[in-house]
Structure formats: C-alpha cells, structure tokens
Amino acid sequence: MNQISLVPTPVKFFYTLTIYSAILLKKGGIAIEIHHFGVSISMMDIFYARIPHDHPQKTFIEAQMNNMKIGHRGEAKLLRFLEEVNFKQSPLVIRNFLTRVHQKRIIQIDYLLVTRKYLLIIEVKNIAGHIQFNSNPPQMIRTLEGRPSQAMECPFVQLDRNLDGFIASLPDSKLPIYTSLVWANSSTTFDLPFEAPHLFLTLKKVPLMIQELEKLPDLLSNKQFNALKKKIVQKAQSFQEQSFCDRYQINPLDLRKGLYCVECYQLLTKSMRTWICTNCKLNATQFVDVNVLSLFSIQNSQLTITDIRNHLPELQSRQVRKVLDSYGYISKGNTKSKRYFKPMEWEEHQ
Ligand SMILES: [Zn+2]
C-alpha cells in the first residue's frame, strides 16, 4: 500500500465536551450550579485544518486552540477543589466562558464564579517545567529539560485583558470582581522577579481563597442575583450557538475542501477503501466521522447532504448519510432539501 506502514489510529475524543450542560453538584446541602461551555478539540482541529494558510485569522485561531488543549486538564482538576468550598449560598460556576465584547474582540475565561457577594475570574495554567516570568515585554518562558526554551503569552496579561473585556461586556454589575491565576501543575518551578499583579495560587490554595471571599457581605437580592445569572448564562450561550465561522469571522466559502488529519492537519488520501495520512503514516478512516460532524459546528447547525459534500467532495451521499445516522442526527424536510441537525444533548464518547 504505497510503501506506507500503517499504525492503528489512536483513540480520540470526538465529542470531548458537550456544547453546554448544567450540572448541579451537591456539597453540604449547597448546590453548585455549573455550566460547562466546552468545545470538541477534534472539531477545532478540523476547523483549523480547513482555514487557508494565508488567512489573517489563522494564527489567532491556532493560539486559541493551543490554549484550549493545554488548559483542559488543569481546568478539570480545579473543579474538584471548588467542591471543597463551603459556599454560603449556591454559586453559579461557568467553565470556559466565551463572549464577544465587540466585533473584533472575544474573551475566554477558564472559570467564572458568580455569587451574591463577588465575581471571580480564574485563569488556569497547567504547564510543567520551569517558568520564568518577564515583565518587559510581558512573557513567560518555559524551560523543559532537554528542549529549547519556549516563550508564551503572560497569563497576567491574559487576566488583565479578560478583566477589562468582562467589565466592558457587563458594565452595570454591582459586584466587586476578583481575579486569580491558578497553577494546576504541582511540579512546576517559578522565577517571578516582580510582584504578581493578580492573585497567584496553586490548586490546593483555591478553596481557602474562596472561603475568604465568602466572608464578604451580600450585595444582591435574590431577584438581582437571578437576573445577573440569567444575563451571564445567556451571554455565554449566545456565543456558543454561533458557528466557528461566525465566531472567528471566517467566510465558509474560503474554507479548504477535503478530508483532513486531526493530528497533523494534512489532507487525507484514499488508498483502496482506506483513508490514510501519508504524513502521520496512519490509517485515518476514523477521522472521516469528525470531518463530517465538525461541519455542523464549523458552518451551520443545520446542513443538507449537498452542503456537506461541497466541503467533502470525495465522499458519496450514501457515506455521509451513514455517518449522520450512526451518530443519531435528526433530519427534517423533503428528500431533496432534507436538512440534518445534531441531537440536542451530546453524550461524551470515547
Ligand atoms: Zn496526519
């Protein structure tokens, strides 16, 4: 087979996370209302692969995607420590709060806590190695043994920007806003030659920090608190309902056609009845599904078979339909213009 030795494709999460979900965690009689606004990393990978190399948004999307990948595991760890907190009243916790501040500006907050007393914006980092913080220019330089040093965006600047963007998108909030950088990797060593401009904590300290905030006075009535919660959840939801193209201002007509590798972003090629990535040297047949399904996130939540085949001309209608059916996609309309859409609640698949 073209002198390519095929290795089995690694098992991937297609639906890493649900579109959104509200879970209630019970802790000592107080429920924590958690909304998790996630995105499937594999779908983001396909979106990235489809954007032409010279597109002005390509680097921005790459940065966002890498951020998501590094942050994901650390963010999950934080949740466990939030459960330790003895909240006075049920808070609203939003994980991965994304909103558009204005046409050209999106903010992404790892965790947002909304209470009657305060708002808390948490940025979670889960990076190993040695971290050197520099103030001018603001950067963090990560060193891992045996590898070249790597400059990364300063998380304090990210927090500055998130705070500024959040205030701009919610100007009439009466609550004080606190910010914190939480480091989720316990093996990391630091060199911080200046005073941290935001509260800088390890995971274990998070419950204690929030416990202190819980001592603050209530500033909102029940009615005001519920109105605020509703407003914030709606902001996050309306962003999530937008397609990736709308969010990142990409014209769907500019997207590259074809099937792409989730690992290396190269075009897949067909060899006999198998899809392969010649770059990764792997059997990529299972990437066909995510290439089809991701279009519902990338372009539009409702698509016809023709819409899908415009992006994936190598696939036959029958193959597309088979993928949609096997993932429980629902269709409506007449045979010719039948539109498919995804089921409301997506289960986590592995
Ligand atoms: Zn590949």
* pLDDT tens digits for range 161-175: 999 999 999 988 889
Which of the listed CATH numbers 1.20.1690, 1.20.1630, 1.10.10, 1.20.1270 matches domain 259-341?
1.10.10
How far apart CA 304 and CA 213 sit, in angstroms, is 51
Ligand 1 mean position, distance from CA 35 (Å): 33
Range among 5-14, 29-38, 173-182, 338-347 with highest mean pLDDT value: 173-182
Question: What is the Å distance from ligand 1's center to 291 Cα?
Answer: 13
Residue 180 Cα, ligand 1 centroid: separation in angstroms? 37
Rounded to an integer, the average pLDDT of 325-338 is 85
Chain mean pLDDT for the chain: 86
CA of 45 to the centre of ligand 1 (A): 11
Residue-range domain boundaries for the chain: 56-246, 259-341
Using the mean position of ligand 1's atoms as its centre, give its distance from the Cα of residue 265 in Å.
6
CA 170 / ligand 1 centre spacing (Å): 42
**174: CA distance to ligand 1 center in Å?**
50
pLDDT (0 to 100) of residue 26 = 58
- Tell me the CA–centroid distance for residue 70 and ligand 1, in Å: 20
Cα of 284 vs centre of ligand 1, distance in Å, is: 8
Could you tell me the distance, in angstroms and rounded to a whole number, from the CA of residue 336 to the centre of ligand 1?
Answer: 35
Q: Are 121 and 114 in contact (CB under 8 A)?
A: no
Query: What distance in angstroms lies between residue 266's CA and the mean position of ligand 1's atoms?
Result: 6
Average pLDDT of the segment spanning 119-140: 93
Reduce the secondary structure of the chain to three states and give it as a string: CCCCCCECCCCCCCCCCCCCCEEEEEECCEEEEEEECCCCHHHHHHHHHHCCCCCCCHHHHHHHHHHHHHHHHHHHHHHHHHCCCCCCCCCEEEEEEEEEEECCEEEEEEEEEECCCCEEEEEEECCCCEEEEEECCEEEEEECCCCCCEEEECHHHHHHHHHHHHHHHCCCCCCCEEEEEEECCCCCEEECCCCCCCEEEEHHHHHHHHHHHCCCCCCCCHHHHHHHHHHHHHHHHHHHCCCHHHHCCCCHHHCCCCCECCCCCCECEEECCEEEECCCCEECCCHHHHHHHHHHHHCCCEEEHHHHHHHCCCCCHHHHHHHHHHCCCEEECCCCCCEEECCCCCCCCC
**Cα(237) to centroid(ligand 1), Å:** 33
Q: How far is the CA of 8 from the centre of ligand 1 (A)?
A: 12
| Polymer length in residues for the chain | 350
Q: Calculate what percentage of the chain has a pLDDT beyond 90.
A: 57
- Ligand 1 center–CA 77 separation, angstroms: 30
Q: Greater confidence, 4 or 350?
A: 4
- Which residue matches tokens 């090629």? 269
How many angstroms is it from 268 CA to the middle of ligand 1? Answer: 8
More confident residue, 25 or 219: 219
